[in-house]
Amino acid sequence: MKKIVILGGGFGGLYTALRLIQLNWTQQPQITIIDKNDRFVFSPLLYELITEEMQSWEVAPPYADLLANTSIQYIQDTVTDVNFNTQEVTLTNSKVTYDRLVVALGGITPDDMVKGAKEYAIPFRSLENAYILKEKLRTLENSDKEFIRVAVIGGGYSGIELTLKIADRLGKRGKIRIIDRGDDILSNSPEFNQKTAKKALLDRKIWLDLETDIVEIEENQISIEYKHKIDTIPVDIVLWTVGTKPVKIINKLSLPQTPQGKIKINSYLQVEDYPEISSMGDLVECYDQHGKILPNTAQVAFQQSDYCAWNIWATIEEKPLLPFQYQPLGEMLALGKDNATLSGLGISLNGDLAYLARRLVYLYRLPTFEHQLAVALKWITNPLSQLGNI
């Protein structure tokens, strides 16, 4: 029996496994997912935990539940090394051998760019980060402070979505600023989303510090630099949403890498020089059909998982491989508690309808039919608070 081992159960890894079991095998392989966490995190919905629009079981279902009715094995452990000669993965507590390997360990938020970021800023990537932020907000809300001052570093989609959810949670008590070194927010977004997001920020009186560098973060203050002038500002919470870099273990695995530390893959999503290893998601440098580098998004990882599963199946079943073809489906952003914007496939929508469309698209994208059904049932039984004002 062939052994397919998948490192990382995120958007790339989990969906590859779920796709692999749907394919028509001559002999069913043994499929194993290894993840250090016990839950899959549907990160586009992580913001909803801050406003309590959703609960953690909806956004981050345990692997044990997701995979209970499948033939996929799940091992909760940390990958510490891989021997590519003996085809053996080392985990903290054991070793696992493979015939085909999928490396989908994702990315981390770089915290070494500014003094104090690691110690005093909260990244927003994991369930644990969301819990820490919620706890900090709760403590401040229960304090006698008149205002709660939040600085969000990074004006990309994550910084903007997070800012607006926090603004809606804190209401008039929130004094929130976004700091970005660029001359605009959402610089890679469609114009419609950018405009709608700017209006949402303006409506909530969010302060924008553009062309501004963050110099240092301390316990209750940050220093920022604008036009060579440094200002020190008091803050209660600093959020750190400044992009993604591959997980550290990739440096240890001597797979072919780009100067940016991303794994080099071919159009079949196989690692260069290692046809038995596939990789995808935030870890790889991947191009679309026009030679454009694809961003680190769930949309990309999700589409790659389909091709990755197919090509693993094809190499085992001796069928033709399929080169990855990316279909841009547009961009959706949550803009606070009952608002969103979306742009793509010739459609631009904002407000309640966009909010509903975003929820429905993500419902459809949640892993496994059982989980989709459980979440849908909760939304149906709790429609008003879940679907804004519709």
Q: Which residues of the chain form contacts with ligand FAD (CB under 6 A)?
A: 8-13, 34-37, 43-44, 46, 78-79, 104-106, 124-125, 158, 247, 249, 281-283, 296-299, 301
Residue nearest to ligand FAD (CB): 10
Instruction: Answer whether 303's CB lies under 8 Å from 16's CB.
Output: no
Which amino acid belongs to residue 288?
D
Minimum Å distance from CB 259 to ligand FAD?
20
Minimum Å distance from CB 133 to ligand FAD?
11
Minimum Å distance from CB 194 to ligand FAD?
15
Minimum Å distance from CB 162 to ligand FAD?
7
Minimum Å distance from CB 223 to ligand FAD?
26
Which amino acid belongs to residue 115?
K
Minimum Å distance from CB 361 to ligand FAD?
10
Residue owning tokens 């998982």: 305
Nearer to ligand FAD, 224 or 294 (CB): 294
Helices within the chain (DSSP H only): 13-20, 56-59, 63-66, 117-120, 127-141, 157-170, 191-203, 249-252, 298-317, 351-365, 369-381, 383-386
Nearer to ligand FAD, 9 or 155 (CB): 9
Nearer to ligand FAD, 80 or 220 (CB): 80
Paired tokens of 330:
């547009």
Nearer to ligand FAD, 188 or 220 (CB): 188
Nearer to ligand FAD, 179 or 284 (CB): 284
H or E stretch covering 96: strand 95-97
Paired tokens of 111:
């915290």
Instruction: Answer whether 5's CB lies under 8 Å from 293's CB.
Output: no
How far is CA 286 from its chain centroid?
A: 17
Nearer to ligand FAD, 161 or 236 (CB): 161
